[in-house]
Amino acid sequence: MIEFKQVQKKYPNGLLALKDIDLEIKQGEFVAVIGRSGAGKSTLLRCINRMHNITSGSLTVDGVEISTLKGKEIRKLRRNIGMIFQSFNLVTRISVLKNVLVGFVPDMPVWRKILGVFTEEEKKQALMAIDQVGILDKAYTRVDQLSGGQQQRVALARTLAQHPKIILADEPVASLDPVTAKQVMDDFRRINQELGMTVVMNIHHVEMALAYAHRVIGLRDGEIVFDGKSEDVTDAVLHRIYKGSPEQQGGSEAHVIEAATN
Ligand SMILES: Nc1ncnc2c1ncn2[C@@H]1O[C@H](COP(=O)(O)OP(=O)(O)OP(=O)(O)O)[C@@H](O)[C@H]1O
């Protein structure tokens, strides 16, 4: 379980990116975080694995207060939390298998990574993860010879091989075409349903968020303005997240939804 209590995040320049966030995410949930650019989605996600430090409040993962963790404890926390980025974050000049191997054993000595010394068990685990995202036939292919969608699946395999309890995904399909994006979202759904991993995903594409996530969190200017089931995301809710209340804006709902789903 991930629990935010009265969490604030202020950047060194004084910008308050998260304001009094109260949030509980239970193991196995598939949560989409939506909101305008600059609303605080990435900040929220990155506080969960300590890529960012919170400024005040409490943030626990499985009951452990993460803001006070130090070096080795942070690495332990991150073993349980996989992170997927829009830009894949892969080493493109080496094979799929090597990318997965290098990524999934964070505490492996650097010399082993450089020399590529991996045990048979590690290779088996990596190949199983590559199989789980349907690209086993590409295991020995260099990453720069793969399509964007295939590269995102490599990133997913690398995370899966680490057997995390939580996957944080920051705009994982933003740079993919609609068909490929759907395939990658299907992977996330399968992983969530079959392996019970919690998925917390920032996503600009509202229709996709509603189609895949059970729960939607709407952020606006660092505050949660909606937290509920996907099916309860009405046009009025989208106005609140993206444009303010319909009364304030007087804009047509169709316009807001169009803007949010493009
Ligand atoms: N390192 C930083 N230093 C100062 N301000 C930052 C920093 N990172 C983000 N911000 C600011 O914090 C606010 C929230 O940013 P964040 O990246 O979390 O938004 P976002 O909702 O993920 O946006 P996007 O959808 O564009 O990625 C923004 O106003 C942004 O400019």
Positive or negative CA dihedral for 203, 206, 210, 212?
Answer: negative
Q: What is the mean pLDDT of residues 257-262?
A: 46
The pLDDT of residue 47 is 97
The pLDDT of residue 84 is 93
Q: For residue 24, which amino acid is it? A: E
Residue 15 CA to ligand 1 center (angstroms) comes to 9
Residues 6+ apart with CB under 8 A from 17: 9, 10, 11, 40, 43, 222
Residue 40 CA to ligand 1 center (angstroms) comes to 6
The answer to whether 98 and 125 are in contact (CB under 8 A) is no
Question: Does the Cβ of 236 fall within 6 Å of ligand 1?
Answer: no
pLDDT surpasses 50 at 248: no
Percent of the chain with pLDDT over 90: 77
How confident is residue 87, by pLDDT bands cut at 50, 70 and 90?
A: confident
The pLDDT of residue 216 is 98
Instruction: Determine which helix (DSSP H) or strand (DSSP E) holds 219, and give its type and residue range.
Output: strand 215-220
How confident is residue 15, by pLDDT bands cut at 50, 70 and 90?
A: very high
Q: Where is average pLDDT lowest: 97-111, 155-169, 182-196?
A: 97-111
Pocket test for ligand 1, best of 7, 15, 45, 206 (most atoms within 8 A of CB): 15
Strand-pair partners of 61: 2, 64
Per-residue pLDDT of 115-146, as tens digits, reads 667 888 889 999 999 999 999 999 999 999 99
Question: Does the Cβ of 14 fall within 6 Å of ligand 1?
Answer: no
The pLDDT of residue 261 is 46
How confident is residue 22, by pLDDT bands cut at 50, 70 and 90?
A: very high
Question: Does the Cβ of 159 fall within 6 Å of ligand 1?
Answer: no
Q: ipTM of the assembly? A: 0.97
Nearest alpha carbon to residue 167 among 96, 85, 231, 89: 85
The pLDDT of residue 59 is 98
pLDDT surpasses 90 at 29: yes
Per-residue pLDDT of 186-224, as tens digits, reads 999 999 999 999 999 999 999 999 999 999 999 999 999
Q: What is the mean pLDDT of residues 107-121?
A: 74
Residue 167 CA to ligand 1 center (angstroms) comes to 20
Per-residue pLDDT of 48-76, as tens digits, reads 999 999 999 999 999 999 999 998 899 88
Per-residue pLDDT of 218-231, as tens digits, reads 999 999 999 999 99
Question: Does the Cβ of 218 fall within 6 Å of ligand 1?
Answer: no
The pLDDT of residue 111 is 72
Chain mean pLDDT for the chain:
89
CA angle 89, 98, 159 (to 5 degrees): 50
Q: Where is average pLDDT lowest: 26-40, 72-86, 213-227?
A: 72-86
The answer to whether 79 and 162 are in contact (CB under 8 A) is yes
